[in-house]
Amino acid sequence: MTKITIRPYDEQHYHTLTNAGVSPLLARLFAARGVEQEQETYHSLQYLQHFGNLKNIDQAAERLSNALKNQERIVIVGDYDADGATATALAVSALRQMGGVVDYLLPNRFTDGYGLSPALVDTAKHMGADLLLTVDNGIAAVAAVEYAQTQGIETIVTDHHLPAETTPDCIIVNPNQIGCPFPYKSTAGVGVMFYVLLALRHLLQQQNYFSGSLKYPNLADYLDLVALGTVADVVKLEHNNRILVHQGLKRIRQGKMRLGLSALFTIAKRDYKTAKTFDLAFCIAPRLNAAGRLDNMDLGVRCLLAQNADEALELAQELNTLNQERRSIEKGMVNEALQLPDIKENNHYTISVFGNDWHEGVIGIVAGRLKEQFYRPTIAFAPADNGLCKGSGRSIDNLHLRDALDLTAKRYPDLIVKFGGHAMAAGLSIRQSDFQRFQAAFETVVADLLNPDDLIKEYRTDGGLETHEITLDTAQTLEQHIWGQGFPPPLFCNDFHIVEQKTVGENHSKLRLEKDGKIFDAILFRDTTRLPEKVRLVYRLSVNIWQNKQELQMVVEHWQEVSKE
């Protein structure tokens, strides 16, 4: 069952925007997404939140400044997803440009697990580390930071994940830590690291550090990495994040990007000159993430750090091959999951599935696929070492997944070994023998948090478009803006007559639609159902480029039959 609703908007904010010169359509879209002032639609770097509002950032900058001046060896400890990879590449590149002695270290998903650990501290010690700098992890690494101190190694944590009650005893820069006044809590790990570099550069300039061959660095040159990591981590695109992504995409379209990122665009057969958030989210990020899912993210970081085009292209091709393998594994796991009895019943609030031979690196994608199909909070588990299994979960709009796991852990104290994450995605470990017990416990907790209406998939639209608004110009205007998680791309709903329908690419439908005497082209992906004559469509406007010509194409997200009466 699904329902179509219209996203409400504040009329006062709408009028404020139109009075400032924003078009009525854009004003309606922006007001419906919480924009109150015209300034929130600006993407200039001058509107970026100042780094000084991040708690402990001055201390972090001071410690890094001393490390650079004393030529201490800084070891970046990253993560095995795209946010962690871009943050690692950013930190390594910028600190080296500032004259630092910098190495990096990435945990292996399968042997090390997530984040900084005592074992990684030992590895860093063998590398000669004087200072550890975590990116996109570390807020939960209490034991590892304590162990590093016993080894004479200091740690700076930069992270964005939600903290537990106890945090590491070191300098921490994290907008979500208690007492941090930074207003944009959804900043990605790569964004936090970018802010630390801004603070460091400011301090070094005050100290007259840049002179001679050591030039003042233009950190905006690294915004391609910030944009990619921010979009890939599916964080809420608050105004600050929209600025970072816009500026990164602007540079990508100008060809001002890492050689590795350029190679990934080439391998993905996407035109960087018209790059959009879609390209980063669905074409570039999956190829980068494939390294961390199936192998080691070191491959992805090496691609982003590549210094010549041939090397970058070779590494991008390796990532592409891994991504093809990942897609094949994913397809098999999803098909197997769909045959499980609990899936077929589909009368629960949650879905928890386990496969004896499932790949640990792909379970998050499987959870996402099942969540989309059945619209239930879903956790997929795969076997791990020592009798444990690891789970990766994806949630629906009205359930904060990490909070739900936290409540499960409190109600059933001996059930979850460890967990962490965000509102829409989280990970955990349990004993394999406890899977069915967890399945029941999680169902009970979520049933208390949701009601049946929450399980009805909702298409939140921006209402209908007038026929004269359904144009290529409108689609081009919309594509100039940043849309994504928490600032969803516009969805419209109108009634059309089906003039023609044909199957393309085996499982897609090409449509010709009529409304008020005008004909429109549309595409319906992964559905070849023969549509009735009159339909209500939920759709988005897209610019389709064919033989170097731009054309309007409507992408249909959902359809319903409309009565002929």
Is 402 exposed, middle or buried (CB count within 10 Å of its CB: 0-12, 13-18, 19+)?
buried
- Is the pLDDT at 392 greater than 90, yes or no? yes
Q: What mean pLDDT is predicted for residues 196-210?
A: 97
Q: What mean pLDDT is predicted for residues 511-526?
A: 97
Q: What pLDDT, on a 0 to 100 scale, did the predictor assign at position 565?
A: 58
**Measured between alpha carbons, how far is residue 18 from residues 22, 25, 37, 489, 507 in Å?**
5, 9, 10, 20, 42
- Ranges of CATH 3.90.1640.30 domains, the chain: 50-321
Q: What pLDDT, on a 0 to 100 scale, did the predictor assign at position 111?
A: 82
Q: What mean pLDDT is predicted for residues 317-338?
A: 96
Length of the chain: 565
Instruction: Supply 549's token pair.
Output: 């010509």
Q: What pLDDT, on a 0 to 100 scale, did the predictor assign at position 343?
A: 77
Min mean pLDDT across 181-190, 344-353, 453-462 is at: 344-353
Percent of the chain at pLDDT exceeding 70: 99
CATH fold for domain 462-565? OB fold (Dihydrolipoamide Acetyltransferase, E2P) (2.40.50)
How would residue 346 be classed by pLDDT, with cut points 50, 70 and 90?
Answer: low
Is residue 110 left, alpha or beta, with left meaning phi > 0 and alpha meaning psi from -120 to 50?
alpha
Average pLDDT over the chain, rounded to whole?
95
How would residue 350 be classed by pLDDT, with cut points 50, 70 and 90?
Answer: very high
Q: What are the beta bridge partners of residue 280? A: none
- Ranges of CATH 2.40.50.460 domains, the chain: 462-565
Q: What is the pLDDT of residues 243-296, one digit of tens each?
A: 999 999 999 999 999 999 999 999 999 999 999 999 999 999 999 999 999 989
**Measured between alpha carbons, how far is residue 24 from residues 13, 292, 488 in Å?**
12, 44, 18
- Is the pLDDT at 564 greater than 90, yes or no? no
- Is the pLDDT at 345 greater than 70, yes or no? no
How would residue 540 be classed by pLDDT, with cut points 50, 70 and 90?
Answer: very high
Q: What pLDDT, on a 0 to 100 scale, did the predictor assign at position 127?
A: 98
Q: What pLDDT, on a 0 to 100 scale, did the predictor assign at position 529?
A: 95
Write down the pTM of the prediction: 0.92
Q: Specify the CATH number for 339-457; select among 3.40.50.620, 3.90.1150.10, 3.40.50.720, 3.10.310.30.
A: 3.10.310.30
Q: What is the pLDDT of residues 222-232, one digit of tens each?
A: 999 999 999 99
Class of the CATH-defined domain 50-321: alpha beta
Determine the Cα–Cα distance for residues 103 and 73; give it in Å rounded to an integer. 7
Instruction: Supply 96's token pair.
Output: 């080296």
- Is the pLDDT at 201 greater than 80, yes or no? yes
Q: DSSP string spanning 486-504?
A: TBPPP-EEEEEEEEEEEEE
Q: What mean pLDDT is predicted for residues 30-45?
A: 97
Beta carbons within 8 Å of 323's beta carbon, 6+ residues apart: 286, 287, 290
- Is the pLDDT at 138 greater than 70, yes or no? yes
How would residue 411 be classed by pLDDT, with cut points 50, 70 and 90?
Answer: very high
Q: What pLDDT, on a 0 to 100 scale, did the predictor assign at position 46?
A: 97
Q: What pLDDT, on a 0 to 100 scale, did the predictor assign at position 114?
A: 84
**Measured between alpha carbons, how far is residue 503 from residues 187, 498, 525 in Å?**
42, 14, 10
**How would you label 271-307 residue by residue, b for 16+ Cβ within 10 Å and e otherwise?**
ebeebbbebbbebbbbbbbbbbbbbbbbbbbbbbbbe
Q: What are the beta bridge partners of residue 510? A: 502, 523
How would residue 86 be classed by pLDDT, with cut points 50, 70 and 90?
Answer: very high
Strand ranges inside 64-127, DSSP E = 73-77, 101-105
How would residue 546 be classed by pLDDT, with cut points 50, 70 and 90?
Answer: confident
- Ranges of CATH 3.10.310.30 domains, the chain: 339-457
